[in-house]
Every structure is written in C-alpha cells, then in structure tokens.
Amino acid sequence: MTYTLTTCGLSILTNGLKGIFEPKDIFPNSNLSKEQIDKALLDKFEEEIEKLKEKIITLDKKSLKKLSAELNALLRYYKDGFNKQDYYKLLHTDTYLGQKTAEIIEYYLKSQGLNVVSYSPKDLKTSNIEEFHISLSDLVKDLSEELEGYRNSGYKIVFNLTGGFKGVNSFLQTMASLYADESIYIFENSSELLRVPKIPIKIDERVFEDNINSFRALDIGIDIKKERLESIHKTLINQIEDEYMLSPWGEIVWQKFKIEHYQNNLLSSITAKIEYSESFKKDFNALSQKEKYQINKSIDKLENYLSNDVNLRSLRYHELKGNIAKQYSHEFYPFDGGDSRRCYCNEIDGKIILEKIDAHLK
C-alpha cells in the first residue's frame, strides 16, 4: 500500500483551457481568492472548469498525460493503472485556481474508484512571504503525524512533486528527505519518470535535546524570551515583530524529533507548573509508544492552557464533582479518538499534579 502526496500546479488549466483563456487570464489570478477575481472572469472559469471535469473522465491515458503534469507522473508511476488500496492526497495552494486544479484531478481519480482527498493549509500562496512561511510550518504540523501514522500502518510514502509551484516543491523536497520513501518527478519536455529514493539523513538531535522546552514553547505558542533562543541556529527560527516561531525548515526537523522523543520520554514542565506523581509515572511507563506520544501532546495542551488560557475541546481540562472529587479535583482527556480514559489531577499550591491515568471514574 502507498500514500501518495501530489502537489498541484496550473498545467491542467493552461493545457485544458487553451484557446478559451489566455495566459494573462490565469497566471495573474493564481494567487487570488474567489472573491478577488473579476466576476465576469470568475463565471467563465466556473463554467469552463465544470466542462473540463466532465471531459477528463472520457480521455485516454495518452491525452491525460498531455493534459496534466500531476496525472502524467501518477500514471507513469502506476504504469497506467492505479491501486484502489492506496491513499492519494492532493496538495494545492490556498487560492481559487489552486482549489479548482485539485478539484479536477480529484474528480478524475475518484472516477477511478480511488481514495482521494484535497488539502491546503491556510495562506499557502506566495503573495505574502510571512504568511507563506507560517503556512509551510502549518503544512509540516498537519502532515508529519499523518505520514508517520500511515508508515506505521505499513504504507510506503511517495511524494509526487512534478506539478505544484517551485516555492512549495523546493520545500517539500527537503521534507521528503525525512518523511518520504521516494520522490517522483517528470521534468519539462521529458517523458521519463525520475524516481529519487530516500537518502539517509542523520539529524544532530543535540540542539533539540538541549533546548527541548524552548522548542516546545515555540511549537505550541507560549511566549519565550529572546535569551533562551541564543543557542538555537537562526535558520530554525522566524521572528515576526516581537514574536518568535519555528521556521518552516525548523518545523521539519523539530516535528521529526518530536514524534520520536514524545513516544519514549515523559516531558518535564515548560512552565514548572505541572508535576507528576509516582503513580502517574508508573502508568505512563506502562503505555504503548503511541499512547505515550498522545499523553505528551496533551501535556503540551495543558501547558498552553496554563500560559494562554486556551482550553482546547480535545483536552477539556475541567473540575470534577461528586464522589470522585474527594480524590481528584480535575481531569482531562489524554488520548485521541474515542478513548474514554482520563488523566486525573489535583491542583495544589498553584500547580497541577498529574496523579493517575484510568478509566472514567464516577
């Protein structure tokens, strides 16, 4: 089974709508939202794109390869067939034409009975460099855990970087070196598929190990003093006005380290306001790696609550009532999904003591 991430560019529009639209109608609008495009031009786009969607499912493989750079690479990779057990993800820009490009490709792939989703992080467009960098960081956060989950389920990870925009693809080439088993490309004016296997890269983890609470604070949005960042290389951090955050490249390597570290180690408190009882430590050590990872993510959410008063629905830290309140004052949900177990806590002298991981107690 394979997880295939495909970046989407504009080739399917420039090729499929040739003679209907001029390049000046497409490229100047490539960074715009639906609301920003001229109404008459938008109506024409809507009409012609719907026609193209209906046309694409009637084309033979040769015509599809000429129409779309993305489909050209996918068809050559799958030798003109597809695997219905595979998972296909289309990454597009956060723009009207980006969404429509992915919509057309998704329409075709779904007509072949495939499992396909389209996705774009907010502000993935090149009109504002600061927003673009933040969007790339969000992209890593969204994909890193998902990719690791599919890998652990036995999927091969493939990045199809034939389409898409240069700024996005150059970034994903770096991400692929840590997260993908293989990257595929077809260069312009070529019919040959280039397959690049994963190149083993060893991350120097000392910077994360020595500054882990600083990286955690940057990751979850806790204010951090500039002095704490002096030992971290500037390429890993972005500064926007007086705020600091992980750079897109910092996000790539941090998220990789985070997954491996969180599933093996109980994290110390960033704020020194969270402590662990011996019973809780024993419960943590008995968990699977996946469960340990989720517990540590929940502890980060609790840190965010303490620092920024953000009580996420997935955390739901709240006071207990009834008989259980005689033993524990608060609880939160430490695991993803429908797991009914709770983490039981006590608030003592301005600190939260994590006491026990247990089934729902009343």
- Chain segment 197-227, per-residue pLDDT in tens: 877 777 778 889 989 999 999 998 888 888 8
- Going from the C-alpha of 174 to that of each of 14, 179, 333, the distances in angstroms are 28, 9, 35
Query: Do residues 157 and 3 lie in contact, with contact meaning Cβ atoms separated by under 8 Å?
Result: yes
Residue type, 290: K
Rounded CA-CA distance 91/76 in Å is 19
Q: How do residues 148-201 score in pLDDT, each as one tens digit?
A: 989 989 999 999 999 888 889 988 988 998 899 999 998 765 678 888 887 777
At 288, list the tokens. 């699977």
pLDDT beyond 60 at 144:
yes
In three-state secondary structure terms, 54 is helix
pLDDT for residue 320 is more than 70? yes
DSSP 213-267: HHHHHHHHT----GGGGTTS-GGGEEEETTEEEE-HHHHHHHHHHHHHHHTT-PP
Residue type, 239: Q
Q: Round to whole Å and give the CA distance between 12 and 169.
A: 17
What values do phi and psi take at 222, rounded to 5?
-90, 130
For residue range 44-99, list pLDDT tens digits in order. 999 999 999 999 999 999 999 999 999 999 999 999 789 999 999 999 999 999 99
Most confident of the following: 99-113, 140-154, 313-327: 99-113
203 backbone dihedrals φ, ψ, rounded to 5°: -85, 135
Tell me whether residue 136 is exposed, middle or buried, using C-beta atoms within 10 angstroms of its C-beta: 0 to 12, 13 to 18, 19 or more.
Answer: buried
Q: Which fold has domain 2-197?
A: Rossmann fold (3.40.50)
pTM over 0.75: yes
For tokens 């030992």, name the residue: 231
* pLDDT at 287 (0 to 100): 94
Q: Which residues contact 249 (CB under 8 A, 6 or more apart)?
A: 174, 235, 236
Q: What is the pLDDT of residue 313?
A: 87
pLDDT above 70 for 362: no
CATH architecture of 268-362: 2-Layer Sandwich (3.30)
- 190, two tokens: 């070529």
